[in-house]
Amino acid sequence: MDKIHVTLDQLYQLAHKTLLMMGIEPSLAKRGALTLNAADARGVDSHGVARLNFYDKCIARGEINPNPNIRIIKETPVSAFFDCDNGIGIATADLVMDKAISLAKHSGIGICSAINGHHIGVAGHYALKAAEQDLIGFACAPSRMMVAPTGGKEKMLGNSPNSLAFPAGLSTPPILMDMASTTVPAGKVEMAVRRGEQVPIGWILDKDGNDTTDPADFQNTDTGEVPGSLLPMAGAKGYCIIVMIELLSSILSGAKTGPHLATGGGGMGFFAAAVDPEIIRPIAELKKDLDDYYYMIKHSEKKQNVKEIYLPGEIEHNQTAKRRKQGVDLSAVVAGEVLKLHQKYGRLSAEAGIEDLFQ
């Protein structure tokens, strides 16, 4: 069995149960499970339940505090500065984004920065939360060291995940940019390791700075060691984006970067912003123009053999609708990893099978 077919609700329940089992405080476990479920819904499988084993290792290393004392260090009518006390990032970042949204609804703009966070998962989840409430959303974070600067071979940078989202039009979906600033995110390379597949040239370098197609040259998924590095997207341009995102999400707040981060990314910063378009002009006018813009691009002339032109985030939007209706084919390898966690914590017996995860 290579895959097991499940519903998105089953994946949410599995993530929620697993986070609680790992000791994550209940309100944060709920937020974290919703973040993972958003990734699974949008087809970003590398950042969904596939991440649970990684978070368990981070808890064991002391990088993630299951019961953090999250507090606001400084607040103004348009901003808030958080100390997340090393809580699990997929939940603490969600809380910080909600604060930015709340500020924007009250003051027209909300800017939030955070220190002592952790891996945030799929960045698009946070920006899209704002867009779903008719706000413009932006979110970004650093990551653990995975990238050498252009011209170098020593890892000093993360892949700077970032996302920008505009609200839906009157008849069109939200427009969402959600990306790592490398050619691919590390999760895609990790999934290639799990599947025993090679990766294309241009994705990764080995420990000596040479091109390679072997994902194991980048990361040992058993130990978590990362001897190789990811390549910035678009060469030096991607490198510049990575640096600027790290300045915004980490240097601005005084958070850790590069070799100062814990192995799995403990001590990260996070930056979230939300803007109410009404401070510029009525939302109804913007939505009409968003529709016009969408259809202008959608109906533009296509290249030969191209069936459809997509706007940023549209493929994932369609995937979400499809998966909510039809369910998800969960990798048996990922399911097996989660099964081992449930056996480790005593929820399931050593004789249990994958199907028992969903009982």
Q: Output the CA angle 274-127-335, nearest 5 degrees.
A: 150
Q: Give me the residue label for tokens 């994958």.
A: 354
Q: How far is CA 115 from CA 53, 141, 223, 234, in A?
A: 24, 10, 26, 29
Q: Which of 155, 156, 158 is nearest to 229 (CA)?
A: 155
Q: Are 64 and 87 in contact (CB under 8 A)?
A: yes
- Residue recorded with tokens 């800017």: 111
Distance of alpha carbon 158 from alpha carbon 86, whole angstroms: 18
Q: What is the pLDDT of residue 120?
A: 96
Entry pTM: 0.92
| pLDDT range class, residue 1, cuts 50, 70, 90 | low
Q: Please say whether the beta carbons of 55 and 337 come within 8 A.
A: no
Answer whether 51's CB lies under 8 Å from 83's CB: no
Instruction: Give SS3 for 355.
Output: helix
Q: Distance (Å, rounded) from C-alpha 97 to C-alpha 100?
A: 5
Of 318, 323, 317, 320, whose CA–CA distance to 6 is shortest?
A: 323
3-12, 107-116, 253-262, 294-303: which range is least confident on average? 253-262
pLDDT at 195 over 90: no
The pLDDT, as a whole number, for residue 227 is 86
**pLDDT band at residue 171 using 50, 70 and 90 as cut-offs:** very high
Q: Cβ of 352: how many Cβ atoms within 10 Å?
A: 14
CATH number, domain 3-281+319-334: 3.30.1370.60
Q: Where are the domains of the chain?
A: 3-281+319-334
Model confidence pLDDT, tens digit, residues 212-257 = 999 988 887 677 678 889 999 988 999 999 999 999 999 999 999 9
Instruction: Please identify which residue in the block is written with the tokens 């699974």.
Output: 40
Q: What is the pLDDT of residues 42-62, one digit of tens each?
A: 999 989 999 999 999 999 999
Give residue-wise pLDDT tens across range 321-357: 999 999 999 999 999 999 999 999 999 999 999 999 9
Give the DSSP H or E segment for 288.
helix 283-298
Q: Which residues pair with 4 in a beta bridge?
A: 330
Give the SS3 label for residue 219. Answer: coil
Please, what sign has the CA dihedral across residues 145, 146, 150, 154? positive
Task: Tell me the per-residue pLDDT of 251-278, one tens digit each, with 9 for 90 and over.
Answer: 999 999 988 888 878 899 999 999 999 9
Cβ partners under 8 Å of residue 350, min gap 6: 343
Instruction: Say what the pLDDT of residue 209 is.
Output: 87
pLDDT score for 263: 81
- Mean pLDDT, the chain, whole residue set: 94
Contact criterion met (CB below 8 Å) for 70 and 82? yes
pLDDT of residue 224: 67
- Residue 88: closest CA among 20, 190, 40: 20
Per residue in 95-107, is it b (16+ CB within 10 Å) or e — as a string? bbbbbbbebbbee
pLDDT-derived band at 193, boundaries 50, 70, 90: confident
pLDDT at 192 over 90: no
Percent above pLDDT 70 for the chain: 99
When pLDDT is cut at 50, 70 and 90, the band that residue 313 belongs to is very high
CA-to-CA distance for 6 and 147, rounded, in angstroms? 35
Q: pLDDT band at 207, cuts 50/70/90? A: confident
- Residue 228's nearest CA partner among 207, 202, 258, 203 is 207
